[in-house]
A = this chain, B = another copy of it.
């Protein structure tokens, strides 16, 4: 079974500013190579407040899901705040593979970064 059930991404940041046609955003990119659906639980950690732990998503068998962190809402309808440093724990009921990417259009022209998540369990 390829992948892990827990992944960590320490550098999360939703750039508040955007220019041009593309909005600044981040995505948690998941691939599920198991035979069943992946139920995904995201916990967000901050520098100076309690974690937000009611974000859920999913990814079908043999599907990818590029979870947009600027669009996801938790069970109470809260969004991830922009302009605040955070970190992400991604947990799944089945093994998945996780990569994290950022698009930043805060100054003219855009900037991108990416890294594989840290595979914990």
Interface residues in chain A, defined as those with a beta carbon under 8 Å from any beta carbon in chain B: 2-3, 6, 8-13, 20-22, 27, 29-31, 33, 45-48, 50-51, 62-66, 85-87, 89, 97-99, 101-102, 104-121
Contacts and interface: CB of A to CB of B under 8 A. Distances in A.
B31 A87 contact: yes
Nearest to A48: B63
Q: How many copies does the complex hold?
A: 4
A46 B27 contact: no
Given A46-B64, A116-B116, A29 B10 contact: yes
B22 A45 contact: no
Closest 8 CB pairs of A and B: A109-B109, A64-B87, A11-B29, A31-B87, A10-B29, A66-B85, A10-B99, A111-B112
Given A11-B27, A114-B114, 5 more contacts: A9-B99, A45-B64, A46-B64, A111-B111, A112-B113
A20 B107 contact: yes
A97 B110 contact: no
Contacts of A8: 2-3, 31, 33, 97
A115 B119 CA distance: 14
Contacts of A119: 118
